Amino acid sequence: MCAKPVDTAAKSLPEGGKARRVYLQLLDGITRGTYPDGAALPAEQRLCVELGVSRVTLRRALDALEAEGLIDRRAGAGTRVRTPQQKPKMSADFSTLMPQLVQMGHETTARLLSFSYGVPPAAVANAMRISPTALVQTATRLRLIDGQPFSHLTTYVPEHIARNYSESELATSPLFRLLERSGVEVETADQSVSATLAGPEVAGHLGLSVGAPLLTLNRVVRDAEGRGVEYLAALYRPDMFKLQMTLSRVGAGDARHWEPVVNPTRAEAAE
Amino acid sequence: MCAKPVDTAAKSLPEGGKARRVYLQLLDGITRGTYPDGAALPAEQRLCVELGVSRVTLRRALDALEAEGLIDRRAGAGTRVRTPQQKPKMSADFSTLMPQLVQMGHETTARLLSFSYGVPPAAVANAMRISPTALVQTATRLRLIDGQPFSHLTTYVPEHIARNYSESELATSPLFRLLERSGVEVETADQSVSATLAGPEVAGHLGLSVGAPLLTLNRVVRDAEGRGVEYLAALYRPDMFKLQMTLSRVGAGDARHWEPVVNPTRAEAAE
């Protein structure tokens, strides 16, 4: 089973083309603060001269930046780098990295892309501390906010746990809830965050160009015996999802150090 | 002032070329677990058939993956996806996001790329809650581990604080130490993590291809009055730097929730 790629925001700039080069140069300027959040970009005519490209090429690059939510273009008002307030539609509580899905009144939904049983990749078996020949359920889901995909999730769950819930339940409920309902005693989780590029398949599903940047999160959830009960490989659109936290500097003298400010009323969500 | 780009690991694949496409397809496979960490890639001959490219093209893609630390190639032993144990040379305590620079016996150094006084980008002034016309010191540094650059740091510090330390001190000491020595009473920090692509300049400094993925961290450090005393825009090579944390599930019943496991003996470092 494979869902049709979402094409709402997909603007494909051929790699190696002039438009892609201009796109990367403007992205570089946005990232490095030459074109800071909220600021107006130079007029199109000036940008064409600065970057040595035609209006058509510039506009294709701007189309891609707009599709990825990095700029706003309004007739008569020029082009502005999007202010941070408009950008991240989702954020995660940094002290736990558990995204808060039930915030800001936005509706999130999930779409099941694939669902199967088989042996896990060696690294997944290794991280979960399960036999490399043990059967696991592998599921790939998209998570959407207001109908737009912002994360691509691949989860691995040992078969004896996964048999407690159905494919259709997985499409509608957070996996975490299903695990707890299955009697799993979740004890710890190890997480790691990094960055990668969107390959053709993921780019299609998330409505991005191939080669667009993605935030990655890998998580192994363990039970009281240290056995892996879930392995999550998550890919997030960085324009729609950020990890945020506040630290407080506490203590005195040599004992002074940073501590995360934890929001005790945070919603609990799984991915 | 602009340091010469490091060319040790830079393998430039022209965007749009066949080698770049193959590179992205293999990267996709590594990211999504088709070629999991530690696993052998199919033999070159088979990959050429699968991907429909010549041996020369395949090897250029493999060169780039190797240069970015994603695969190991050994004569007679084939090509393996690098295991996680070999990959991240640096990691950050996730509960604070303060990288632990003094770990694993590796030597880290810094290289000052630029140093100047001027008005900050509007978004930086806004985040720091300082006047958009106030002078700030802008410094760009590379941080290296065992001589190899892994992060590109741009910092903004209000002039009246920055005048307390010199350009050469900034090249050798973590900024955080210099701020504290300057009498700044640091109180809170707001941080946000995301992903972006390397533009031409940053790619050159970090020894990456243009368009390679980067992990980004933006941090505003504030004093007791809420005024920004430092704004940091950091870019990290994802193959050399990961954010990692362990969570523990605590409490009972409805009050059961995740809490970060904080390592109380962690080293304190600034960027």
The answer to whether A233 touches A154, Cβ cutoff 8 Å, is: yes
The CA distance from B216 to the nearest CA of chain A, in Å, is 9
Pick from B124, B215, B241: CB nearest A36: B124
Listed residues A48, A81, A114: the one ending a domain: A81
Q: What are the chain B neighbours of A37 within 8 Å (beta carbons)?
A: 122-123
The CA distance from B235 to the nearest CA of chain A, in Å, is 9
Let me know the angle formed at the C-alpha of B94 by B92 and B98, rounded to the nearest 5 degrees.
50
The CA distance from B206 to the nearest CA of chain A, in Å, is 14
Backbone torsions φ then ψ of B192, nearest 5 degrees = -145, 135
Listed residues A60, A81, A102: the one ending a domain: A81
* A138's tokens: 């592998």
Same domain, A188 and A221: yes
pLDDT tens-place string over residues A111-167: 999 999 999 988 889 889 999 899 999 999 998 887 889 899 999 999 999 999 998
**Is position B269 within any domain?**
no
| Full domain range(s) for residue B71 | 18-81
Pick from B25, B192, B214: CB nearest A195: B214
Are the beta carbons of B196 and A238 separated by less than 8 Å?
yes
Same domain, B215 and B248: yes
Kindly provide the ipTM of the predicted complex, given to two decimals.
0.70
Pick from A84, A121, A259: CB nearest B36: A121
Helix (H) or strand (E) holding B116: strand B108-118
SS3 labels along chain A: CCCCCCCCCCCCCCCCCHHHHHHHHHHHHHHHCCCCCCCECCCHHHHHHHHCCCHHHHHHHHHHHHHCCCEEEECCCEEEECCCCCCCCEEEECCCCEECCCCCCCCEEEEEEEEEEECCCHHHHHHHCCCCCCCEEEEEEEEEECCEEEEEEEEEEEHHHHCCCCHHHHHHCCHHHHHHHCCCCEEEEEEEEEEEECCHHHHHHHCCCCCCEEEEEEEEEEECCCCEEEEEEEEECCCCEEEEEEEEEECCHHHCEEEECCCCCCCCCCC
β-pairing, A78-81 vs B71-74, is unpaired
**Is position A61 within any domain?**
yes
**Is position A266 within any domain?**
no
Among B21, B25, B31, B271, the strongest candidate for a mutation testing the A interface, having the largest count of A CBs within 10 A, is B31
Distance CA A174, CA B221 (A): 35
Which chain B residue's Cα is nearest to A32? B233
- Residue A173 pLDDT greater than 50, yes or no: yes
Distance CA A64, CA B188 (A): 36
Q: What are the chain B neighbours of A216 within 8 Å (beta carbons)?
A: 31, 195, 238
Closest CA to B66 of B74, B76, B77: B74
Question: DSSP character for B40?
Answer: B
Listed residues A59, A81, A103: the one ending a domain: A81
Any CB–CB contact under 8 A between B242 and chain A?
yes
Residue A244's Cβ-count burial label (10 Å; 0-12, 13-18, 19+) is middle
Pick from A31, A195, A261: CB nearest B238: A195
The answer to whether A157 touches A175, Cβ cutoff 8 Å, is: yes
Are the beta carbons of B14 and A14 separated by less than 8 Å?
no
The CA distance from B234 to the nearest CA of chain A, in Å, is 9
Are the beta carbons of B32 and A193 separated by less than 8 Å?
no
Residues 3-62 of B with CB under 8 A from A: 14-17, 20-21, 24-25, 27-29, 31-34, 36-39
Same domain, B242 and B113: yes
Same domain, B247 and B188: yes
Query: How many domains does chain B contain in total?
Result: 2
Same domain, B33 and B166: no
Question: DSSP character for B34?
Answer: S
Pick from B33, B97, B201: CB nearest A28: B201
Give the CATH number of the domain where residue B256 resides.
3.40.1410.10
Are the beta carbons of B194 and A123 separated by less than 8 Å?
no
pLDDT in tens, chain B (271 residues): 333 333 333 346 766 678 888 888 888 777 666 676 677 888 888 889 888 889 999 999 998 888 777 888 887 778 888 754 444 455 555 444 444 444 444 567 889 999 999 999 888 898 899 998 999 999 999 988 878 898 999 999 999 999 999 988 888 777 877 888 888 888 888 888 889 888 888 988 998 877 888 999 888 999 988 889 999 999 999 878 877 777 788 777 766 777 766 654 333 344 5
Cβ neighbours, 10 Å, residue B38: 17
Same domain, A71 and A169: no
